[in-house]
Structure 1
């Protein structure tokens, strides 16, 4: 049931959208992939079929609302959750470990339906699932040989793609999975300007173009990754999310493929297993900490180099990161354990406004400086790929240890290690 509410010339639709049908596709392995189908009441012939490969957020109200909006604009919509279909635990490494066979099956089924209906189709993904979409698209191209390499596939759309293998420890540069440079597809990337991998875009584009992919980029200003799927979005995130259905036509036009263009996927793909990150304090071969200068929430300029002579715990965090917030009390206690002339905690907030941080500090006690990395350049120089990430820097400015997760910072072994460095 839908309820229409009228406000000063603007219609809002409150809907509990439900799949009108579902199809189970059986793979050669015997596993099944469920395709949930949401048909538009008045489907438009010139609108492509949208196939969205989700990552566990299909039941969230913002996503259901997005489906409803797209249906209202005349788009038929398929939703596929591979991990749910396979009954696999939802972890980052389980996502990265998917081969793409499920995507291949869905794309071939979509191709068959598109031929019958005289339509095109657009696979869509977010975050890590973009990696699996590329793998599955290549399998479909190699095994089914569509016309000009794409057949009725109009283009691939990926929101804030995470195509990197996570390094073993914080501070190491993440590497792209081999599928990225083996891909030959029309790819449209929707990139939030506050997203984690904003500064990695040139590397992603270069890798995609290696095998002849056509890449289009659409920037979404002033929002973070997952902006349209957040349970408590900011006003700007709400507005950007509401704009997606209308902007989609613009994005698809920007990524339009010339009729003579042919895509040729790599037939032999290097297989790379996802790296398992090392948890806890990890030793780093002596490496000088990149210097930076940032302002704190009060506008005071702080230069890391000026902290030489002290042991520094450098912490990268964000207020929306629950593990980041959870470890703050133990960091406060740690700061009290050592002489302030010999040890200091310096935190770098990732791309949040001074107003947001100030409001956060009113509710959470933080006993150390909070610097603002508004454009994310400092975080990128430290190769931050997860939050929180922390580094212990010795008095000479050398990085000695890193942590790529939240820990209890006042545990005896941590204090013992720091005490040995401070003496």
Structure 2
């Protein structure tokens, strides 16, 4: 085992030393680690999301070290020379992480908490489960702190209930889940909790109203005032979370079901509407920006494009101009576009419309009820209904709505 210290950068306080180290493992892999040292007995092990790390986590890590918590940040994308992508998490070796965790315990740490977000939560759960299988009775791992964990298996079709990765169903360590309001997981808290509880995990949910997803990793200049306020106190949130997690006595982990992994097929992202195979009719009744209740049934006799969106969703914003152009092209026909904003207030949307000017009907799903009824797990999500209110086509993601192929499909229903 070889440890290579590359450089040591002393910050404003001698109590916080940022060490960049490389750890060579028995597999021959070299893992790059940023360490924020407090010389304490509690380690916060940061695992990357599928998007890797920027520098936004550094102030929180420094503050944690100042308050007595050691932090190790694993730069796995660089270490394994893997590009940042939604599938990147599956390319990291769990066995290497098991060995690295053993090294941290050998260094004298008494307890370890995983900190990660997005699909990084899957890697944390896999690593914890395998560690416990190899070292039964070892209580070194004490829990997870997850930001908006992505534990869904694959890409569920619109209208379907998502399935979750198997390791989420056998998790036994306690989980502290941080869910910003402006993120796709905010209204999925209950089903994530229920999934994690299947294996015995105790789950604490910390909702952050008015805060954007990814705030914990963004640089300060990219944050709103609400984001900045929460981020400034994030180290204290982690400390409180770890105190809660330590109060839970974990049960023995459940074994993963034996199965043969199947190789996923490469699929090309189609840029056309797909025939919808879910429940043909779904109720929808929401208030508009003026507080008036709108019922989808009121539009019988018209072809409806129902668009779920949010102002913090970049693909949603990108497709708005083409939605407007589509509406203009088909304004003389029995066709109507109705948009459903997810989780934002009328005031917030009005402010948004001052910057991005468009005139489309907007309904407010501020409680996330329609999102769950319609099986929406990502934004934007779109449904095309015929004149009888039957859902005929759907599309998950942004489109150029005024493209000839899309207009041709819509005209078949007019």
Give the TM-score category using the shorter length.
0.7 to 0.9
2:235 paired residue among 245, 248, 260:
245
After superposing the two structures, state which structure 1 stretch, 83-92 or 199-208, moved more: 199-208
Q: For the residues of structure 2 that align with 1:74 and 1:200, how far apart are their CA atoms?
A: 34
Report the TM-score when normalising by structure 2: 0.86
Compute the RMSD of aligned alpha carbons.
Answer: 2.7
1:87 is matched with 81
Alignment of 1:280-295 (within 5 A): 280=271, 281-285=273-277, 287-295=279-287
Q: For the residues of structure 2 that align with 1:405 and 1:206, how far apart are their CA atoms?
A: 27
Residue 122 of structure 2 corresponds to residue 122 of structure 1: no
1:372 is matched with 364
C-alpha contact 2:21 2:33 (8 A) present in aligned 1: yes
Q: 1:100/1:283 Cα in 2 relative to 1: closer, same or farther (>3 Å)?
A: farther
Alignment of 1:317-396 (within 5 A): 317-340=309-332, 342-396=334-388
Q: For the residues of structure 2 that align with 1:274 and 1:52, how far apart are their CA atoms?
A: 28
Q: For the residues of structure 1 that align with 2:262 and 2:202, how far apart are their CA atoms?
A: 24
Report the TM-score when normalising by structure 1: 0.85
C-alpha contact 2:167 2:256 (8 A) present in aligned 1: no
Deviation digits for residues 365-390 of structure 1 (CA, Å, limit 9, x no counterpart):
32311222212221222222222111
1:35 is matched with 33
| CA deviation after TM superposition for structure 1 residue 77, in Å | 0.7
Deviation digits for residues 322-355 of structure 1 (CA, Å, limit 9, x no counterpart):
2111111111111111145500111111212222
1:228 paired residue among 184, 192, 216:
216
C-alpha contact 1:292 1:303 (8 A) present in aligned 2: yes
Q: 1:44/1:299 Cα in 2 relative to 1: closer, same or farther (>3 Å)?
A: same
After superposing the two structures, state which structure 1 stretch, 49-58 or 215-224, moved more: 215-224
Alignment of 1:72-151 (within 5 A): 72-95=66-89, 98=92, 100-113=94-107, 117=108, 119-143=110-134, 145-146=135-136, 148=137, 150-151=138-139
C-alpha contact 1:57 1:63 (8 A) present in aligned 2: no
C-alpha contact 2:275 2:393 (8 A) present in aligned 1: yes
Q: For the residues of structure 2 that align with 1:413 and 1:339, how far apart are their CA atoms?
A: 18
2:166 paired residue among 155, 178, 186:
178
| CA deviation after TM superposition for structure 1 residue 65, in Å | 1.3
1:12 is matched with none
| CA deviation after TM superposition for structure 1 residue 205, in Å | 2.8
| CA deviation after TM superposition for structure 1 residue 409, in Å | 0.6
C-alpha contact 2:159 2:279 (8 A) present in aligned 1: no
| CA deviation after TM superposition for structure 1 residue 274, in Å | 6.6
Q: For the residues of structure 1 that align with 2:106 and 2:66, how far apart are their CA atoms?
A: 25
Q: 1:89/1:331 Cα in 2 relative to 1: closer, same or farther (>3 Å)?
A: same
What SS does the aligned partner of 2:155 have? coil
1:10 is matched with none
Unmatched runs of 5 consecutive residues or more in structure 2: 1-9
| CA deviation after TM superposition for structure 1 residue 130, in Å | 0.2
2:59 paired residue among 38, 56, 65:
65
2:391 paired residue among 375, 391, 399:
399
Deviation digits for residues 71-107 of structure 1 (CA, Å, limit 9, x no counterpart):
2212111001323322122121333565633432332
What SS does the aligned partner of 1:190 have? strand
C-alpha contact 1:34 1:81 (8 A) present in aligned 2: yes
1:255 is matched with 245
Q: 1:133/1:398 Cα in 2 relative to 1: closer, same or farther (>3 Å)?
A: same
C-alpha contact 1:315 1:388 (8 A) present in aligned 2: yes
Residue 25 of structure 2 corresponds to residue 26 of structure 1: yes
Aligned residues: 397
Q: For the residues of structure 1 that align with 2:374 and 2:278, how far apart are their CA atoms?
A: 14
2:148 is matched with 160
2:293 is matched with 301
Deviation digits for residues 204-228 of structure 1 (CA, Å, limit 9, x no counterpart):
3333233333333333344343233
Q: 1:351/1:258 Cα in 2 relative to 1: closer, same or farther (>3 Å)?
A: closer
Q: 1:416/1:341 Cα in 2 relative to 1: closer, same or farther (>3 Å)?
A: closer
Deviation digits for residues 244-291 of structure 1 (CA, Å, limit 9, x no counterpart):
2122222222222456x5423415554476786853321113633422
